[in-house]
Amino acid sequence: MERLIIQSANILFPDSKFYKQSADVLIEDGIIKAIEAPGKLTVSKGTKLIAGENQFLAPGFFDLNANFGEPGFETKEDFITGCATAAAGGFTGVVLQPNTNPPLHSRSEIAFIVNSAKDAPVDIYPLGTITKNREGKELAELYDMKLAGAVAFSDGDRSLQHAGLMSRALLYSQGFDGLIFSYSEDKSIAGKTKMNEGEMSTYLGMKGNPNMAEELMISRDLFLVEYNDSPIHFSTISTAGAVEQIRKAKKKGLKVTCDVAAHHLLLTDDELISFDSNLKVRPPLRSKADRDALIKGLKDGTIDAIVSQHTPHEVEYKKVEFEIAEFGIASLQTVLPMLLKAKLSLELIIEKLAINSRKVLNIEPIQLKVGEQANLILINPNELWIFDSKSNRSKANNNPLFNSELKGKVSLLIHKNKTLIL
């Protein structure tokens, strides 16, 4: 029997009576047995003691947007390395995008993910595609995938261009409490652009992707949501206009949620002066004004959740000219230090990364209560560490923070009766 006590940790479970206070937590075989003021728990022989002073005990993070390669792209990331990376970043639950080969577009692919990940140290939730092969032409078998374990539906990094098809998807999924995730980009506006349209794109002589490409598609989908009285979730919004549209839609009473990628809260298109291909993402890094609007939207509740948008790539797809490099950052392990560097409070980070992210999918909240299975992390916001080949748990290193010193780290993760000292 494993018995451990986390001593004098600052509690950041909002529903706990010890919220923002220090407490000792006793865990036996993965079950929370006692929560008391510091020094009140009996330390018996064989009890493992974890020093929690100046650290924060919080629910395990939950990511609504991550890419693992399996099936088909295991050289980018497989379940083993993906889960190890997620755990190192403090994530105890991850929603997988359907950007695989084959895509997660039928019952069999969803069942493969569910069965392959059932013993993983991290909870894995697959997204089924909206359309067959993510081609945007014909609806996939949404209900069959829901029965097999799909938690929602998305065409991943492909925006559904056909308005009628999106309308039918919203209406059909409503019949069985399905949820559509929309990645919003009007391809006729965005074209084959590689970065944001703005002063920096003009300076660099590169054709830019305007805010309008995202905002037009969000506007269309909001009309469809109102018409069908259906829920929708917007993935990785990136512009000030998108925030304002969603803010107005929520005030209007529409069933709308949304998330933002961590890197859009810290980095801007000004960084691209270096032509670092690790900064090439979709949607692109936007302007400082957009970044400020995203942070404001987080704080006022317009934006529900923060995601990693973890997108690992083999070295040959990133260490090339910016123009031909693939999009994406392998970011699961660096979300926390990135958000701390963006000067977000721990309370806000936990709300958007552990609590609201589960609410989007109606997943039971994680509670710090006697008798509950432990699903928690211990955060040291001041720990300095080097993110390099030794500490990286992913197969990929396409991350602009690679080989740099970061501040903020998850030092302990307990989930599924597994204790990981990180």
Secondary structure (3-state) at 330: coil
What confidence tens digit (pLDDT) does each residue in 183-208 have?
999 999 999 999 999 999 999 999 99
Closest to 12 (Cα-Cα) out of 353, 334, 261, 263: 353
Residues 308/326, Cβ–Cβ less than 8 Å: no
Nearest to 291, CA basis, from 257, 256, 262: 262
Say what the pLDDT of residue 188 is: 97
Of 300, 245, 282, 290, the C-alpha closest to 266 is: 290
Is the peptide bond preceding residue 365 cis, with omega within 30 degrees of 0? no
Mean pLDDT along residues 150-176: 97
Residue 339 and residue 303 in contact, taking contact as beta carbons nearer than 8 Å: no
The residues, ordered by sequence, that sit 6+ positions from 46 with a Cβ below 8 Å of its Cβ are: 3
Chain-centroid distance, C-alpha 298: 14
CA distance 21 to 233: 34
Angle at 272 between CA 268 and CA 276, to 5 degrees: 125
Q: Give the mean model confidence (pLDDT) for residues 310-333.
A: 97
Q: What residue spans of 160-277 are helical by DSSP H?
A: 163-174, 187-190, 199-204, 211-228, 240-252
**Cα 264–Cα 270–Cα 271 angle in degrees, nearest 5:** 75
Residue 46 reports pLDDT greater than 90? no
Q: Kindly give, in sequence order, each residue whose CB lies less than 8 Å from that of residue 205, ignoring residues fewer than 6 positions away.
A: none
Q: 60-360 architecture in CATH?
A: Alpha-Beta Barrel (3.20)
Output the six-digit token pair for 113: 């993910």
pLDDT at 117 over 90: no
What is the band of 1 on the pLDDT scale with cuts at 50, 70, 90? low
CA 123 to chain centre: 13
Q: Could you read off the pLDDT of 9-23 as tens digits, one per residue?
A: 999 999 999 999 999
Domains of the chain, residue spans: 3-57+369-421, 60-360
What is the structure's pLDDT at 109?
A: 97
Question: pLDDT digit string (tens) for 127-155?
Answer: 999 999 999 999 999 999 999 999 999 99
pLDDT of 82 over the 70 cut = yes
What's the half-sphere exposure (Cβ side, CA atoms, 13 Å) at 317? 18
The pLDDT, as a whole number, for residue 328 is 98
What whole-number distance in Å separates Cα of residue 246 and Cα of residue 211?
A: 15
**Residue-averaged pLDDT of the chain:** 97
CATH 2.30.40.10 at 3-57+369-421, yes or no = yes
**Which amino acid, residue 99?**
N
Distances (CA, A) of 408 to 83, 346, 380: 20, 10, 6
Task: List the one residue out of 150, 100, 91, 151 whose CA is nearest residue 122.
Answer: 91
Alpha helix locations (H) across 18-104?
Answer: 79-88
Buried b (16+ CB within 10 A) or exposed e, 50-64: bebeebbbbbbbbbb
pLDDT in tens, 232-286: 999 999 999 999 999 999 999 999 999 999 999 999 999 999 999 999 999 999 9
Is the Cβ–Cβ distance between 212 and 191 less than 8 Å?
no
pTM for this model (two decimals): 0.97
Which percentage of the chain shows pLDDT scores above 70?
100
Q: Which helix (H) or strand (E) holds 32?
A: strand 31-36
Q: Cite the DSSP H helix spans in 229-312.
A: 240-252, 288-299
User: Coil, strand, or helix at residue 385?
Assistant: strand
Q: Is the pLDDT of residue 47 over 70?
A: yes
C-alpha–C-alpha distance, residues 176 and 142, integer Å = 9
Closest among 183, 89, 82, 117 to 416, alpha carbons compared? 117
